[in-house]
Amino acid sequence: MHLYLLLLVLLRGDVTSAITSEAASEERIERVERVMSQLTRQVMLQQLYTEETARSGGDSGIKQVRMQRDGSKPYYTATHTSNAVASIHDHSNHERTCGMGEVVAVLNGLEFRTRHNDYMLKMPSRSSVDYHATQDIPFPDVPPAVLQRTSVDDQITELREWFKAWRDGDTSVRDYRKYFKPNLCYLEGAWTTDVTLDEPFDSDRHQLEADSWFELQEQIRFTSYTGDKNSNENFAYLPTSVMNITEDGMPTFAQWNYRILCHPVSGDLPFSHLKPVDNLAARIVGDDSFDQYVASRAARFSVNPTGKDEQFRWYRLDQLMNQIPGKDNYQGKLNDTGLGQIKLDVFNGQPLNAGFYHRWYKVAGRDAMGEKVASRGFADRNLWVAETTQPRVAPVSVANCKNRWQRRRGQCDTVVKRVSYAIPLEIVYLTPIHTWNPFKLPYRGEHSSTLGKTVRADGRNGGMTPEKAYNGTNSEAYYLTPSQFFSGGEVGRDKADTTRNSVGVLDKSGKVRAVKSSGVRIFLPKIAGLGVLRTRYPIMPMHDEGDPVWKELEALRDVVMDIGRYTKYLRSPPNLASRPITNNTTAPTPFTHTVLMTSPSLPDPVGLHAHTIDLNLEQFRRMRNNRRTLTFDTSEENGHSHSVKVRYDRNTNKFRIIKCDGKPRCFDGHSAVLSEGNKRSVVP
C-alpha cells in the first residue's frame, strides 16, 4: 500500500511538470497505468503470501482471547483460554443469548478479530435462500408427563427425573431425546463483495460501533497502534483485500466478514461422545485437578464417540458439520466438478452436495482405477468449506484446461467459485428449562417494546416485594424457572455474567414468585440428586494445534502424564517400583492466591454484575490470622470498580465488606458478605 501512495505522489509531480508533447504524455500515462496495474497485482499477491504462510503455520481455529491478567510465568496469561475457553460466559437472563467474548480466530489462513460476540440461538433459514436469512432455533417442548402434574412440586419432581435420564443417557423409562436437543454452534467466515458495513450477525448485547468499513478500519488502526481499547468491546478487525484485477487493471476489493450461528443436530449426541481435552497451563492457573478443570469454564472437549485415541480420516464430527449449510442455507444444492471430476461424499459415494460444509471428499479414479480421497486445503485439519451462489460472496476464478492443446488455443473453461469456511464452536444442549413455566408468568415480548418495558416499569428491579418484583418476563428478563427446582446457587460465576440468583416476578394474579433465569447456561445450578450439569460443551479447534511444535508437545504431554502406559516410548524408563507414583490427593497444593467475589448487584442502576478481589498469601494471612482490615480495589465491571475495606469475621468465618467507596453499603446493592474460592471451580 505504501508503494502505491508513493507512486501517486511521484506521478503528480511527474505529470504536471513539463509536458512536452501530447504523444509523449499519452505514452507516459500508458506506462504508469501498466505499472499501477502490476503494483496492484503485487498487493494482491502480498495478501496471498501472508495467508499462505499462516495456512502452513497452523489450522483453522481459535488463536487468542483478550488478556485479563499477568503472572510470574507466561502461562498465567491468556491463550485460546483464560478463565473460560474462548471467553464464553452466561447471559442466562436473556432468552436466547450465548455469552462469548472477543477472540482472534484464523479461518483458512486469514486471521481476524471478532467483536464481543454474545451470539444468539439462530440458524440459517430452512425455507429461504436469501443471503443471511435466519430463523430462531426452536426450543424443545416440556415432556407431557411433567405438564400433566398439577402441583408445581410434582412437576419439579417429574422434571428432575427427565434430567436424570438425560444425564445418564438412559432412554428406557423416559426417552429424553425429544426434549433435550444438541445444537452445533459454528463460526463462519467469507470474503464478501459488500461495500457498506454489514453487521455480521445478531446479538442483543453488542453491535459494531461503526457506520462504514473505513470507520471500522480506522478504529482498529487507532486502538492497535495506541494499545487502547473500546470499553464496549464493539470493534472488530475484519481485513479488506484485493481479490482480483480487471482486464483494464482496476482492483476488485473483497471484505472479510464472519458470523456465528447454530444448527440443531439431527439425532442424539450423548455427553459420553464428548471427551475433555487437557490443558496443563489452564489447570495450573486455576489450581485444578483434571476433574476440576473438566468441571470449569476453561475446559474444551473433542467429539470422540469411542473415547479412544486413534488415527482416522473422517469421523463423527464430519457427520455433524456435513449437516450445516453454507450461505445458500438449507435449500442449497450444488455439485462440485471443480478442476475435473465431480466430488463425491465420503460417507455414501454419491455426488457431494458442496452447498454444505465438508472437508474430506472422493473423486472417482480415471478408467475405473479406484477412487481418490482428498481433503480441502493443503494441511489444514479444520478447513470446512461450503460453496455458494450468493453474489455477495466474492468469486474466484481460474481457467481450467483439459489438456495442453486447449491451453495453447486458449479454449479453456473458466471455473468460478464462491465459498465460505466454518469451524465448530460448541455443542449447546437445549432443555425443557427454556420454556417450562409452571407459574404461568406472562411473557411481554422484546424488552425494548412498549409492553416489554412494563416489566421494569416504576423502578421494578426483580425484588421479592410486590412493588419491586418484575411485572412478568421479557426477552432480557427471562426468568421462568421456579427457584426450588435447583438446589444450589449459580455455578462458577464469571464477571461477564448478568444472572442473579433469584428474582421475584409477579404472576397473573399479582403474586410474587421466586424464579431463576431460563436462558442458556454453561452449567446449570445444582439439581438435587443430580449435581451440576453442563449444557455448553466448547469443541472449538485451536489454531496452534496445527503447528508441528504443538503436535510434538502434545505427544510429550501424553507420555509424561501417563508414564505407566507409555513406558515403551521412554529412553530410560524411571524405576517405578522403587519409587511408586501415587495420587496423593491429600498433599496441599502450592498456595497461589485467593479470589473473593461479591454477591451479584441489583440490576439497577448499572446492570447486573459482580466483582472479584484478588488476595495474595500475605494479605490473606494478615486478615485471617492477624485480624487486620485491608483496602482493595475490586475488579472493574459494568464500567466501575469499588474501593472496599475488607475484614475477616471470625464468627461466620467469612470475609466481609465493612466500607464500600467510603459508605456502609455499595451503591449498587452488593451485600457485605464475600464468597471465597478458587476463581474457576464449581461452587454450587
Ligand X SMILES: *[C@@H]1O[C@H](CO)[C@@H](O)[C@H](O)[C@H]1NC(C)=O
The four Cα atoms 471, 153, 165, 490 give a dihedral, to 10 degrees, of: 50
Q: How far is the CB of 163 from ligand X (least distance, A)?
A: 26
Q: How far is the CB of 449 from ligand X (least distance, A)?
A: 11
Amino acid at 277: V
SS3 label, residue 405: helix
Nearer to ligand X, 119 or 191 (CB): 191
Residue 369 makes contact with ligand X by CB under 6 A? no
Closest residue by Cα to residue 184 from 397, 418, 424: 424
Least spacing, CB of residue 527 vs ligand X, in Å = 25
Window of 225-233, 239-247, 537-545, 644-652 that interacts with ligand X by CB under 6 A: 239-247
What's the residue count for the chain?
684
User: CB-hemisphere CA count at 13 Å for 684?
Assistant: 16
Per-residue x/- track, 28-67, ligand X (CB under 6 A): ----------------------------------------
- The three-class DSSP label of residue 482 is strand
Applying CB under 6 A, which part among 276-284, 395-403, 608-616, 676-684 lies near ligand X? 395-403
Residue 456: CB atoms within 10 A of its CB come to 18
Is residue 220 helix, strand or coil? Answer: helix
Of 212 and 246, CB closest to ligand X: 246
Residue type at position 436: W
CA distance 193 to 649: 63
Tell me the residue type at 508.
K
Q: Is the dihedral of CA 514, 518, 519, 523 positive or negative?
A: positive
Interacting residues of 464 by C-beta distance below 8 A, sequence separation 6+: 504, 512, 514
Q: Which of 206/513 has CB closer to ligand X?
A: 513
Comparison of 161 and 558: residue with beta carbon closer to ligand X: 558
Element (H, E) at 110: strand 110-113
Rounded to whole angstroms, how far apart are CA atoms 525 and 535?
11
Please give the Cα distance from 290 to 684 (Å, whole number).
Answer: 18
Return phi, psi of residue 220, to 5°: -70, -40
Pick between residue 470 and residue 655 the one whose CB is nearest to ligand X: 470
Which among 260, 259, 257, 261 is positioned nearest to 394, based on CA atoms?
257
Tell which one of 247, 310, 367, 618 touches ligand X (CB under 6 A).
247
110 and 54 Cβ atoms separated by less than 8 Å = yes
Binding segment toward ligand X, per CB under 6 A, in 108-116, 379-387, 583-591, 650-658: 583-591
* Closer to ligand X by Cβ: residue 397 or 616: 397
395 binds ligand X (CB under 6 A): yes
Smaller CB separation from ligand X, 151 or 582: 582
245: contact with ligand X by CB under 6 A = yes
When binding is defined by CB under 6 A, the residue of 575, 583, 625, 652 that contacts ligand X is 583
Closest CB to ligand X among residues 395, 531: 395
Q: Which of 20, 584, 625, 652 binds ligand X (CB under 6 A)?
A: 584
Give the residues across from 633 on adjacent strands. Answer: 643
Interface positions, 417-436, toward ligand X (CB under 6 A): none
3-state secondary structure of 552: helix
Q: Output the smallest distance, CB 333 to ligand X, in A.
A: 5
Provide, rounded to whole angstroms, the least separation between the CB of residue 280 and ligand X: 16
Residue number, 395 or 669, with CB nearest to ligand X: 395
Q: Please, which residues have CB within 8 angstroms of residue 67's CB and are 6 or more apart in sequence?
A: 77, 78, 82
Sequence-ordered list of residues with C-beta below 8 angstroms from that of 282, at least 6 positions apart, any chain: 79, 81, 288, 293, 298, 299
Instruction: Give the span between the Cα atoms of 355 and 350, in whole angstroms.
Output: 14
In angstroms, give the least distance from the CB of 249 to ligand X.
8
Q: Does 449 bind ligand X (CB under 6 A)?
A: no
- Cβ distance to ligand X smaller for residue 63 or 444: 444
83 in Cβ contact with 496 (< 8 Å)? no
Site residue total, ligand X (CB under 6 A): 22
470-499 residues in contact with ligand X (CB under 6 A) are: 471
From the CB of 506, what's the least distance to ligand X, in Å? 6
Q: What is the dihedral of CA 416, 418, 423, 424, to 10 degrees?
A: -120
Q: Cβ 63 to ligand X, closest distance in Å?
A: 29
Instruction: Out of 151, 348, 582, 625, name the contact with ligand X by CB under 6 A.
Output: 582
Q: Which is nearer to ligand X, 104 or 415 (CB)?
A: 415
Q: Write out the DSSP string of 31-64.
A: HHHHHHHHHHHHHHHHHHHHHHHHHHH--SEEEE
The reply on whether position 396 binds ligand X by CB under 6 A is: yes
Q: Which of residues 494-513 bind ligand X (CB under 6 A)?
A: 506, 510
Binding residues for ligand X restricted to 340-359, rule: CB under 6 A: 342, 351
Verify binding: residue 333, ligand X, rule CB under 6 A: yes
Residue 397 lies near ligand X (rule: CB under 6 A) = yes
Binding status of residue 401 toward ligand X by CB under 6 A: no
Provide, rounded to whole angstroms, the least separation between the CB of residue 576 and ligand X.
9
Indicate the residue among 505 and 615 with the shorter CB distance to ligand X. 505
Q: 288, 296 in Cβ contact below 8 A?
A: yes
Comparison of 212 and 397: residue with beta carbon closer to ligand X: 397
β-pair type (503-506, 512-517):
antiparallel
Measure the CA angle with vertex 612, ends 606 and 617; round to 5°. 160
**Shortest Cβ distance from residue 156 to ligand X (Å)?**
26
* Binding residue (CB under 6 A) for ligand X from 38, 148, 246, 449: 246
Q: In 577-641, where does DSSP find H-type helix?
A: 617-624
Handedness of CA 263, 266, 267, 272 (dihedral sign): negative
Closest distance between ligand X and the C-beta of residue 105, in Å?
26
φ and ψ of 519, to 5 deg: -80, -160
Which part of the chain contacts ligand X (CB under 6 A), choosing from 175-183, 279-287, 427-435, 580-588? 580-588
Residue from 2, 587, 626, 663 in contact with ligand X (CB under 6 A): 587
Beta-ladder partners of 536: 428
Contact residues for ligand X (CB under 6 A)? 244-247, 333, 335, 342, 351, 395-397, 416, 451, 454, 471, 506, 510, 582-584, 586-587
